[in-house]
Chain A
């Protein structure tokens, strides 16, 4: 199956990436390649650089790439603005989705969706057509329509915020989605809803990077590759059995890999 996937070009190539914020090095040579249809899981202790990697791929202005490249569909995107990356199909699902009081969720989703549709040369949707589309996507994450009239993420529970992230992913139809600890703060039912939503959205043309601490998300969505990060580097890559081993042995087990690198 994996060789079949690799007949096409990679969606994302992170090549020997070094990055810092406020002159503090965070990433110290990360390399990662994602092909269409692949699901990658990145695991690691808190502070190892997982979230930073996701933010840098999405274009966070607070981080500087000091060395290395990020290529998306073969093009270097190091200097692209976050909105340009999103419009072209890179999606970041936030660990802590931001609340934006006073901005209606429906309008925000419509503006975002239209920005992506414009890039894809699709017709932009007016409020009426968009409501039809969003109703259909709400089903995927079992969200009530009432969420649309509220301000973006304001007053949402942790689980509702994460479902709203997956709703956005469904509307934006990204080519690559990086989901940063989408499973954190979810109960078992919510985790299943979110996981089922992700599976329905992903297809043979999409790549997914799941950043997680726990096996339980990977029980629902089986990854093709599992990467372990420590101190700003990927120190070990394996199949889904690597996550099971990590679950059993804990991160201490990976300490000797750090020494090797």
Chain B
């Protein structure tokens, strides 16, 4: 782990921005997360080391999009490649945040970061150079869907950061695609700030190739009367972590999350979520699905924090898991921390296998076992896929990849 040595000895970067200095300083004395802590204890050590084994690369190869270009109907942005972004139309505007605005917001965030809990973001912000930080300010309505791509180049570790402010009354549909090339590591940190009455339908689709690794951290702050909907899908990574931190800063906000992770071979993919209600009348509806095959390992840990100030919170967190092999492993831990006394909160977890009676029913109608299993899996995916804010048939590749599973 050459990169850790370089952080320790402060030899990682010749030129450091102020943010990089602050983050590197926070990591210097203790550059790795605590492997015994709840957030990291299940993380596969070899795979995590593999994430850090690739040499850090500020420049990456030109992005070659495997997706059909929908430039007619969508706004496509690629982190690290877009220099000047400015879309100003009658109903909306999408403008780049100034360096000062980005710095100010990130510094505010870092000030409360904990070395262990926010390790992924601290690493990301230590590595992300200015070119790889995309900051946007979005305003208005009837905004075309936005697609934002991040990718890692083969045999290297890349860091990309996205900061988006949604101004008051703004309504946006945004899909974020994280692509891992063969033998690569991608560190992606995303920060959303939703002002009052704004609404974001957010999709995250992350997939890799052989030997891809991903640390994907998502931080959302919601002001009152905002609505944040997240549909996410992670698959085909040797090692991937998806960390979601959502704070309803004044309560009175809505959050809906439907996430899914698919693991095969000896992959490990985990999702950690922390939803913090910091005011009354907050709402959360969350479902996380895992599907684990072969010798793979899927992990979900979710925590909902409801302090005394968050009266009348209505929160639900469910973890549904499908084990397709005797050697696959699933760990799931949805949990609630409730101090307020007038709340409606529930959580639950199920682990099951493919339904034998459903399979038999389909087979008695001439559908082969393989097709029946695929139909059953697609029905399992359906709830999540339909929540990702992009019409599925537009995404031929996504279709293809899902059919492989």
Contacts and interface: CB of A to CB of B under 8 A. Distances in A.
A212 interface: no
Contacts of B363: 59, 81-83, 86
Contacts, number: 75
Contacts of B356: 61-62
Given A83-B367, A86-B366, 6 more contacts: A83-B363, A87-B366, A100-B376, A102-B380, A102-B383, A111-B367
A25 interface: no
Interface stretch (A69-77, A91-99, A133-141): A91-99
A60 B359 CA distance: 10
Interface residues of A, number: 30
29 contacts: A55-B360, A58-B364, A59-B364, A61-B360, A62-B356, A81-B368, A81-B369, A82-B360, A82-B363, A82-B364, A83-B368, A86-B363, A98-B361, A100-B358, A100-B375, A101-B379, A102-B378, A102-B381, A102-B382, A102-B383, A103-B378, A108-B365, A111-B365, A112-B365, A112-B366, A115-B366, A168-B365, A172-B365, A172-B366
B357 interface: yes
B114 interface: no
Nearest to B379: A102
A168 B364 CA distance: 11
A213 interface: no
Contacts of A91: 364
A101 B386 CA distance: 13
Interface in B263-303: none
B4 interface: no
Given A100-B376, A102-B379, A92 B364 contact: yes
B375 A60 contact: no
Residue picked from B361, B376, B379, most chain A C-beta under 10 Å: B361
A82 B367 CA distance: 9
B364 A86 contact: yes
Nearest to B376: A100
B371 interface: yes
Nearest to B378: A102
Given A61-B360, A100-B361, A108 B366 contact: no
A162 interface: no
A116 interface: yes
Contacts of B382: 101-102
B303 to A, nearest CB: 29
A111 B376 CA distance: 14
Among A97, A102, A111, find the residue whose CB has the most chain B CB atoms closer than 10 A. Answer: A102
Contacts of A119: 366
In this complex, the member of B363, B365, B376, B381 whose beta carbon has the largest number of chain A beta carbons within 10 angstroms is B365
Closest 6 CB pairs of A and B: A102-B379, A115-B366, A102-B382, A112-B365, A82-B363, A98-B361
A261 B393 CA distance: 62
A58 to B, nearest CB: 5
A100 B362 contact: yes
Contacts of A81: 363, 368-369
B125 to A, nearest CB: 40
Interface centre among B362, B364, B367 (most CB of A within 10 A): B364
